[in-house]
Amino acid sequence: MSLAQPAFQDVYPDDLSHCYGCGSNNPQGHQLKSYWLEQEGKQAQTIAHFTPKECHTAIPGFVYGGLIASLIDCHGTGSACAMAYKQAGRELGSSPSMRFVTGKLDVNFLAPTPLGPELTLLGTFSEVKDRKICIDIVVMCEGVKCASGHVIAVKMPENMGQQK
């Protein structure tokens, strides 16, 4: 990950940046930031980091599953957006904007996720089409794979962004 690159979510248009999970215009939300994982000669992957707050408890000592599902969801749609720009040969965030929404979200909880340490989400693309992008995501905590997810992201209907 290079700090020189912007987070995918930070180049969303202002009027599409209110998502509780990842919108930079939602001060109460998680503000998840996803990036390209820079690796020479390997398949494109994406990465995000997030440190849950104390309130994000399941039972004491562990992260609640809804947060993990939310992070997988937003890392998935953010990664889909970035991949769509990459495939089109366009600069990330350039107009007209390309946003993706979640069609299907599957999460496997593999091990209890300890509350406290930073989580790392790693995304790998399994299907890339114009209007549908699929991403496999793993959630790691201190080297342990705690959850895996699969996101089917679909291009946002054009009329959806206009509705307030």
3-state secondary structure the chain: CCCCCCCHHHHCCHHHCCCCCCCCCCCCCCCCCEEEECCCCCCCEEEEEECCCCCCECCCCEECHHHHHHHHHHHHHHHHHHHHHHHHCCCCCCCCCCCEEEEEEEEEECCCCECCCCEEEEEEEEEECCCEEEEEEEEEECCEEEEEEEEEEEECCCCCCCCC
Which C-beta is closer to a copy of itself: that of 53 or that of 129? 53
Which C-beta is closer to a copy of itself: that of 102 or that of 124? 102
What residues from 70 to 99 belong to the interface with a copy of itself (CB under 8 A)? 70-71, 73-74, 99
- Contacting residue, 5, 6, 20, 118, with a copy of itself by CB under 8 A: 20
CB of 3 to a copy of itself, least distance (A): 26
Tell me the window of 22-30, 33-41, 81-89, 134-142 that interacts with a copy of itself (CB under 8 A).
Answer: 22-30
Q: Does 16 bind a copy of itself (CB under 8 A)?
A: yes
Phi and psi angles of residue 43, each rounded to the nearest 5 degrees, phi first: -60, 145
Which C-beta is closer to a copy of itself: that of 38 or that of 145? 145
Tell me the window of 3-11, 33-41, 49-57, 136-144 that interacts with a copy of itself (CB under 8 A).
Answer: 49-57
Q: Does 145 bind a copy of itself (CB under 8 A)?
A: no
Quickly tell me which residue has 């209007």 as its tokens. Answer: 131
Q: Does 116 bind a copy of itself (CB under 8 A)?
A: no
Which C-beta is closer to a copy of itself: that of 20 or that of 38? 20
Contact 147, 163 (CB under 8 A): no
